[in-house]
Amino acid sequence: MARVLHIIEERTPAGMLDQLSLLAGEGDVVASLGRPPEHEAFSLPVRAVHCPLSVPQLGALRMRNLACGADLLHAWSARAAAAAAALGRRNGLPVLLSWPSLPEKKDLPFLTRLLGKGGVHLAVPTEVAQMALLWSGAREGSVHVLPPPARRFEDAQLAELRGLLRAALGVGDHQFLLVAPAEMVPGAGHKYASWVHAIVRQIVRDVLLMMPGGGPGSPGVRYFAGTTGYGQEVFFREDCPVELTGARLGQAVLAAGDVALFLAERDTGVAALAEAMSAGLAIAGSNTPDAAECAPDGAVALLSPACDARAASANVLRLVEDRRLAAELGAAARRRAAECFNVSAARGCLDEIYAASRS
């Protein structure tokens, strides 16, 4: 089994930290390039390493001792990858970078340059992301698919957390709770979630919305939610009881919800989508490439064109008014998550990627 040094940094996406929590090996070491990220659900021990002048290559020099016992370096963000590439060249170690989604066009030059260097490999969550990188010039055999792992939920656990959080928020059994659990980053679609909630509320009463709070997109989303006329019916993480913290809070949000919204403007990550599917939630989302591969339209989700509030509202209204359809889609999503996003299978897949990276 490979001994791995995982490298993260302050802006590592929350979904990638969740995946690292599920996939890290028992003897692995996690190092942060500068200040560690603030993510309540991330509980692995982290060794913070000073990064002079915020230059990743200089931070890599401070990690030399940590890398001495490693067989491979695993980076979880672009800045972490810059440090890992420098450290890998110095110590003669292969490097794997995990990327959260289909890369944006602006990221392709960086990724293809990185992959052009010997000993650097990339893991992406979907086959469509893999093909996009190969078409962009990434060398053959350097891009691997690592489906996002999702923790398994027991029915009793879901019922307990659902009752706890809905009672704390004052949400009754007759009320329909929409949740938008993805990290609040630009492009993740939380403004569209608020907009869609307001449109649906014009037609149906007793529909509420919960969003995670925190993240770089939070202030703008909060302001927008307050302008729709239904801001008082939108909950954020700060409204949750204090005893629900860390991973338990994220699980409670999923358990309490009736439908999960992933109305992204573009692909920004699918870790939260996989976890919502594992919790058995019906999905109303954008028909972006990653989402369409993970949650096929009509089979486990209702997908609409990105940035189309009218089409998304129609899908959400179908799920609100047809509880049987919502339950069927939720059950199908849970089955697909058990088949495609199994943690044990993901660990086996990662071991194979490690072996390919070292060969």
Q: Pseudo-torsion of CA 188, 305, 289, 222, nearest 10°?
A: 0
pLDDT in tens, 312-352: 999 999 999 999 999 999 999 999 999 999 999 999 999 99
Round to whole Å and give the CA distance between 108 and 99.
12
pLDDT in tens, 100-145: 999 999 999 999 888 887 789 999 999 999 999 999 888 889 999 9
283: left (phi over 0), alpha (psi -120 to 50) or beta: beta
Q: Determine the pLDDT at residue 69.
A: 87
Round to whole Å and give the CA distance between 32 and 67.
13
pLDDT in tens, 260-287: 999 999 999 999 999 999 999 999 999 9
Q: Determine the pLDDT at residue 244.
A: 61
Q: Determine the pLDDT at residue 245.
A: 60
State the residue for tokens 């990743």. 56
Q: Determine the pLDDT at residue 243.
A: 59
pLDDT of 354 higher than 70 = yes
DSSP-based three-state secondary structure for 202: coil
CA distances, 171 to each of 162, 331, 336 (Å)? 10, 23, 29
Residues present in the chain in total: 359
- Over its C-alpha atoms, the chain yields an Rg (Å, rounded) of 20
DSSP per position, 106-173: GGHHHHHHHHTSTTEEEEESSHHHHHHHHHTTPPTTSEEE-PPP-----HHHHHHHHHHHHHHHT--T
Q: Determine the pLDDT at residue 164.
A: 87
Q: 249, 40 in Cβ contact below 8 A?
A: yes
Q: Name the pLDDT band for 246 (thresholds 50, 70, 90).
A: low
Q: Determine the pLDDT at residue 215.
A: 75
Q: Name the pLDDT band for 239 (thresholds 50, 70, 90).
A: confident
299: left (phi over 0), alpha (psi -120 to 50) or beta: alpha
pLDDT in tens, 39-74: 888 889 999 999 999 999 999 999 999 999 899 999
Of 142, 155, 178, 146, the C-alpha closest to 262 is 178
Exposed e or buried b for every residue in 309-342, given b needs 16+ CB within 10 A? bebbbbbbbebbeeeeebeebbebbbebbeebbb
Q: Name the pLDDT band for 219 (thresholds 50, 70, 90).
A: confident
Question: Within 10 Å of residue 53's Cβ, how many Cβ atoms?
Answer: 6
Q: At 32, which helix (H) or strand (E)?
A: strand 29-33
Q: Determine the pLDDT at residue 41.
A: 83
Chain centroid offset of residue 23 CA: 14
Q: Name the pLDDT band for 33 (thresholds 50, 70, 90).
A: very high
pLDDT in tens, 153-181: 999 989 988 998 898 889 998 999 999 99
Q: Determine the pLDDT at residue 78.
A: 95
* pTM (predicted TM-score): 0.94
DSSP per position, 248-292: HHHHHHHHH-SEEEE--SS---SHHHHHHHHTT-EEEEE--HHHH
Round to whole Å and give the CA distance between 125 and 50.
30
Of 263, 243, 264, 244, the C-alpha closest to 254 is 244
Round to whole Å and give the CA distance between 152 and 249.
15
State the residue for tokens 């009509």. 298
Chain centroid offset of residue 90 CA: 32
Average pLDDT, the chain: 93
Q: Which domains does the chain have, with CATH numbers?
A: 4-148+342-358 (3.40.50.2000), 155-340 (3.40.50.2000)
CA distances, 166 to each of 257, 297, 334 (Å)? 9, 29, 22
